[in-house]
Amino acid sequence: MIKDSLYILMSNIYSKFMAYLFYYLTAIFLGTSSFGILRALLPILDTLTIFFTSGIPPSIAKFLAEDKEKDLGNYLGILFLMLFLSIFGFIVMINIKYLLGGGYLEIDNSIYLILGISIFVSSIIAFCRGILQGLLRIKELSLTWLTESTLKILFLLFLISLGLLGSFLSLTLASLVTGILFFFYILRIMKFERKIRINFSIVKYAIPISLTSASYRLFGDLDNIIIMSFLGSYFSGIYGYSSLISRGVYMISSSISIPLLPKIAKSKDKNLLKKALILNTLFSSFILLPIFLFPGFFLEFFFHAKTLEGEICLKILLLSSLFMSYFNIISSYLQGVNRAKLSFYIIVLGILINTILNIILIKLYGIVGGSLATLLASLSILIIALMVVRR
């Protein structure tokens, strides 16, 4: 597991670097307010993408890891289903502003249209990642993130003159091109002897995983979404700077949880979870401690946006991210032992707590209140998850 985790860790380090470069470039060229819009819309895009398409691949990975035949025909039907479901994601995306109201109503319709298309095209690369994870092709799986993150920057450099629209368009194109490349790679490495069919066992198992993953993504940026609605794009941008830097801890937990799922599905060994949590603690310390001690330096270095509120938020959000990284690993374990529904129930409870606290504390303390709400909510769900695992 350590070797596989290192592959994912290295790709995550590179992908995170490219993601920070993407946000750095957009922050510089777009300005704080436009960046605030981007920072508020991206978690909505990710949540809808996971809910309608990207939540299915972990289920594909589990069934493929247990499948002795490993015939592509058993899984292509799932890809067609993902493309069909993404149409509903497109419809929701282009109408989401009427649900959220506030500052979202001021965003141009073309932005929502591009984001809706992005949900559709992301189905291909999401499917490929599920297949590669199930085949335990961790090296190739890591290459999907390397390729997509690189293309994202290249497209951004060509399209940044289009402003906010160009920024979102670069994400869509990077996802599309990467998906096509790795789909043809999968056609080369997998046998295709049976007719295309839909394995409804995969679909059934994917439902709680999709709901859990989408809820998890929504939970992580619910504060930024509400801040955009209540305080506007400028404060959303200031808060977004701190939030992004604090997410460095996630690249550790994801590098551990991704290879953990198929291994747990095979062995059901609880000791793997303990080992994963220890690795996460050791590796995360190298990222968390320097940023916690010198938050102003990192805000200035990455975004040239050192503010007192931003520094306070960054320190609080670092702790929240650490708690959520533990929950991410525990959630993968629960999925592997066929208890995915428990992760969903826990994160839904967390969303309710987070929403209530954000509404109350943002009104009282502004963006600092948003970070406090997220910290309290993340600590709550981690405690509950640990209690569930120990049962």
Domain that holds residue 296: 2-390
Strands (E), 151-206: none
Sign of CA dihedral 27, 171, 331, 340: positive
Q: Quick check: helix, strand or coil at residue 191? A: strand
pLDDT at position 301: 87
| pLDDT tens, the chain, 391 aa long | 555 556 666 776 777 788 878 888 998 888 888 999 999 999 999 899 988 887 788 888 888 888 777 778 788 888 899 999 999 999 999 999 998 888 898 899 999 999 999 999 999 999 999 989 888 888 888 889 899 999 999 999 999 999 999 999 999 999 999 999 999 999 888 877 667 777 778 888 888 777 777 887 888 789 999 999 899 889 999 998 898 888 777 666 666 656 665 666 565 666 777 777 777 777 778 888 898 999 999 999 888 888 899 999 999 999 998 888 888 788 777 777 777 678 788 889 999 999 999 999 999 999 999 999 999 999 999 999 888 887 7
| 43 close to 218: Cβ distance less than 8 angstroms | yes
Total domain count for the chain?
A: 1
The Cα–Cα gap between 50 and 59 comes to: 13
pLDDT at position 224: 92
pLDDT at position 8: 62
In sequence order, the β-bridge partners of residue 191 are: 71
Closest CA to 7 of 120, 151, 199, 146: 146
Place of tokens 């707590």: 353
The Cα–Cα gap between 17 and 1 comes to: 24
387: its two tokens? 């209690």
Q: Quick check: helix, strand or coil at residue 71? A: strand
In sequence order, the β-bridge partners of residue 71 are: 191
Cα separation of the two ends of the chain: 25
| 272 close to 332: Cβ distance less than 8 angstroms | no
Find the helix packing angle between 250-267 and 308-336, rounded to 10°: 10
Number of other CB atoms surrounding residue 60 within 10 Å: 28
